[in-house]
Structure 1
Amino acid sequence: MRELKIIQPDDWHCHLRDGAYLSRTVPDSAAIFKRVIVMPNLTTPITHPSAAKKYRERILNAVPEGNDFEPLMTLYLTDETTPHVIAEAKASGIIHGAKLYPQGVTTHSEAGVTKLEKIYPTLEAMSEHHIPLLIHGEVNDPAVDIFDREKYFIDKILTQLVKNFPSLKIVFEHITTKDAVLFVEESSKNVAATITPHHLYYQRNAMFMGGIRPHYYCLPVLKRQEHQLALIAAATSGNPKFFIGTDSAPHAVTRKESSCGCAGIYNSPTALALYAEIFATQNKLHKLEGFTSLYGADFYGLAHNQKTITLREISKNVPETLSFGDETIIPLKAGQSVKWDII
């Protein structure tokens, strides 16, 4: 029975939602992670530091007593986000990034940026104030196949963005293709990427095994096996440009199992176990700590956590369902078992 002691991990991409849902998501994340980068795409997006401060307070109110969980807040970029707002964000001391959602590309992205050139002054201000740009790297163009939208974004938008703002720190979030891996590897030290457990653990066939399986539907969508293998190689490589970001994105069962189901996978309770399993299968457990606990903090310019956790290779059953406010949610690996657990 193997055990692995590592510095307590952080999650550099997580959706905690709001309201009654925080009683589910916050304790689940806080049970594993010390810090999380909190996504700002609520029903009413978090577009100003004052809104981020209030949201942060609601999150902290849901943290279990005695837990030192720390939410790291972000802003939602729109066409109207000004350099002055970025200056306020820096002065607030609680904003650790600003999120670019191309309009209409994913859940609650309707207020997102319509054309990148509209926020060039804002991006310049972010560069000056050392606030990272966090990118959902897809286009929302019905003429582009959904499985090609990440590569299209790289070729048509991201390549030029990196050239125009060479000193801007960029996190290419939840990458899903070998094209994204290559782009990050070949870019400057200011470009990094997060990788989710579900994009490492599954490829697109998982959505169609024996029928439509909506709880494997996420955006960016799962890709072919060749892309999955490229992600695994990147995550386990020890390259500090690649680090953990679960993109845990909960939706109630009724919103997933519908005629137009929502994109998102709730993986907070199982994410670390799945990462450990992937690294173990590659004989790279010795590199798990860097991926989960060091590289993200280094990129964001934050200190490493002081506490440690111990993982043990032991089977643990995952519940079929979990409460989610007054509703129900199905976690990743529901009704199955994971091979690692925190002791």
Structure 2
Amino acid sequence: MKIETRVLNDVIVMELKAVQLNHKEPDRGGSSYSVLAVADLQVHLTHEQLVGRLPVLLLLLLRATSCSGARRKNIFKEGSRLSLDFTMTKTLVLPFQPLKSPAQKFEGVKFIRRQGPKMQLTLTQPDDWHLHLRDGDLLKAVLPHSASTFGRAIVMPNLKPPITTTAAAVAYRDSILKALPSNSNFIPLMTLYLTDTMSPNEIKLARKSGAVYAVKLYPAGATTNSQDGVTDLFGKCLPVLEEMVEQDMPLLVVHGEVTNPDVDMFDREKVFIETVLKPLIERLPKLKVVMEHITTANAAKFVLSCEHALLAATVTPQHLLLNRNSLFQGGLQPHNYCLPVLKRETHRQAIVSAVTSGSKKFFLGTDSAPHERRRKESSCGCAGIYSAPIALSLYAKVFEEAGALDKLEAFTSFNGPDFYGLPRNTSKITLQKAPWQVPKSFTFPFGDIVPMFAGETLEWQPCFNSD
């Protein structure tokens, strides 16, 4: 498909309004044709990735008063093509397919509008399905950044000591709630740290508590504070996994890397899929599994192609925006170091394609992992990227560049709760298209935290929440 655009700078973009028209042309044998007339559609929404999925012909009437002649040519047979030259606005070549039923509607990007010179996106408030909040002073410092954007979050259990019991998870949840700003409605969803010694009874207690929503599998040594992780998943841990199925525990959250020293660091995820994830799904087909922070084309392909309906994946902003060159350009970049490590560009592109495809199997999980600057900028720096303050802006950047802003809300706000069996949030959050600079650091009494993209300019800025 070929799409060309010419746009005036002064085009005012209003909220998308769709009108379905069913038309019968006597001079064409009485055949019925369906048309969707759309007024005031933002130009970037005409990208091929959006237009290609529309079930009907889009008539762009951006300047209807100057292109009234186009209205008389709005009925075409299936397979025909339309070329309209809207003087001083845009030229489009679009395919046409009739509506499958009179009730079918286009609902993709009705939340996009421009007020004055600034465009806005209004989204259902998102959730973060993979978040590190730490504890103590660090928890108090970083919690407001997540609570101001996200309604809920799956909170990781890799503290020192790790959260291995329901009692510890409830106590940790209470400390999070106590540290929240007074006006916050943020809800922490707690997890347990799976160990070789965990008992099936702990799963019963977790389920009964109503506070624990996941059990986290860390292969021993795979990431920060994972030294207490699993060494014998299909042996010592099998009774726990079976009890999770029995208790309908929401899911097993998986850090998808093997830790065998013979496996190359950049191949850990691929090997994990073949040696751990596939056997796990085959052995326990009723267990919900989320493969966290996928980083490779292998993982994206596996999740998309897997017939197992209970498999999904979270994706971080760094693995959508950065490749492994970002670790080394201009010298070693410790603030771009995370686990799993960034991969080559072909993998990044594959993940972007999967996430922006509209598949319900992918949803937002920042893996935001704060560390003090001194612990990152050291001879043995910690793994983890702090993205919570800017995460939503980064995801919007990814989807805009892919021409898929109509799919952003499902990724950030719908797919996660739908998979977990939780209600979607009812509150809203707005992103404004207004350039702003990411702080170079956040300063606290205990030290500085450097965020992802520190000092750089982003295009989308969260500006308010509303009910």
The interval holding the TM-score normalised by the smaller chain is over 0.9
Any idea what SS the aligned residue of 2:454 has?
coil
One-letter amino acid of the structure 1 residue matched with residue 358 of structure 2: G
Cα distance between partner residues in 1 of 2:405 and 2:444: 33
Within the candidate set 335, 360, 371, 1:240 is matched to: 360
One-letter amino acid of the structure 2 residue matched with residue 33 of structure 1: F
Alignment-derived partner of residue 35 in structure 2? none
Q: Aligned pairs, how many?
A: 343
Alignment-derived partner of residue 448 in structure 2? 328
Question: If you compute each CA radius of gyration, which structure gives the higher value, 1 or 2?
Answer: 2
Alignment-derived partner of residue 255 in structure 1? 375
1:11 lines up with 2:128 in the alignment: yes
Within the candidate set 234, 244, 253, 1:134 is matched to: 253
Within the candidate set 219, 239, 242, 1:121 is matched to: 239
One-letter amino acid of the structure 1 residue matched with residue 305 of structure 2: E
Within the candidate set 79, 89, 98, 2:215 is matched to: 98
Which of 113-122 and 85-94 deviates more?
A: 113-122
Point out where structure 2 has 5 or more consecutive residues left out of the alignment. 1-117
Within the candidate set 199, 202, 217, 1:85 is matched to: 202
Cα distance between partner residues in 2 of 1:80 and 1:2: 53
Any idea what SS the aligned residue of 2:431 has?
strand
Cα distance between partner residues in 2 of 1:325 and 1:290: 38
One-letter amino acid of the structure 2 residue matched with residue 270 of structure 1: I
Cα distance between partner residues in 2 of 1:99 and 1:316: 36
Alignment-derived partner of residue 224 in structure 1? 344
Cα distance between partner residues in 2 of 1:200 and 1:245: 12
Residue 229 of structure 1 deviates from its aligned partner by 0.4
Cα distance between partner residues in 1 of 2:285 and 2:158: 27
Cα distance between partner residues in 2 of 1:138 and 1:284: 30
Within the candidate set 266, 272, 284, 1:153 is matched to: 272
Residue 216 of structure 1 deviates from its aligned partner by 0.3
Residue 324 of structure 1 deviates from its aligned partner by 4.5
Structure of higher RCO (CA pairs closer than 8 Å, 6+ residues apart):
1
Any idea what SS the aligned residue of 1:116 has?
coil
Instruction: Indicate if the aligned counterparts of 1:170 and 1:192 stay in contact, CA closer than 8 A.
Output: yes
1:64 lines up with 2:181 in the alignment: yes
TM-score in terms of structure 1 length: 0.99
1:295 lines up with 2:295 in the alignment: no
One-letter amino acid of the structure 1 residue matched with residue 381 of structure 2: G
Point out where structure 1 has 5 or more consecutive residues left out of the alignment. none
Choose between structure 1 and 2: higher helix proportion: 1
Residue 2 of structure 1 deviates from its aligned partner by 2.3
Instruction: Indicate if the aligned counterparts of 1:252 and 1:324 stay in contact, CA closer than 8 A.
Output: no
Residue 323 of structure 1 deviates from its aligned partner by 2.5
Instruction: Indicate if the aligned counterparts of 1:24 and 1:323 stay in contact, CA closer than 8 A.
Output: no
Residue 41 of structure 1 deviates from its aligned partner by 0.2
Cα distance between partner residues in 2 of 1:82 and 1:338: 47
Any idea what SS the aligned residue of 2:183 has?
coil
Residue 325 of structure 1 deviates from its aligned partner by 5.2
Cα distance between partner residues in 1 of 2:246 and 2:345: 40
Alignment-derived partner of residue 269 in structure 1? 389
Any idea what SS the aligned residue of 1:299 has?
helix
Provide Cα deviations, 1:163-188, integer angstroms capped at 9, x if missing partner.
00000000000000010011111221
One-letter amino acid of the structure 2 residue matched with residue 139 of structure 1: V
TM-score in terms of structure 2 length: 0.73
Cα distance between partner residues in 2 of 1:337 and 1:229: 22
Any idea what SS the aligned residue of 1:72 has?
strand
Within the candidate set 190, 193, 207, 1:76 is matched to: 193
1:342 lines up with 2:462 in the alignment: yes
Cα distance between partner residues in 2 of 1:103 and 1:307: 39
Alignment-derived partner of residue 433 in structure 2? 313
Any idea what SS the aligned residue of 1:192 has?
strand
Aligned-pair identity (%): 52
Cα distance between partner residues in 2 of 1:213 and 1:251: 14
Within the candidate set 303, 311, 328, 1:184 is matched to: 303
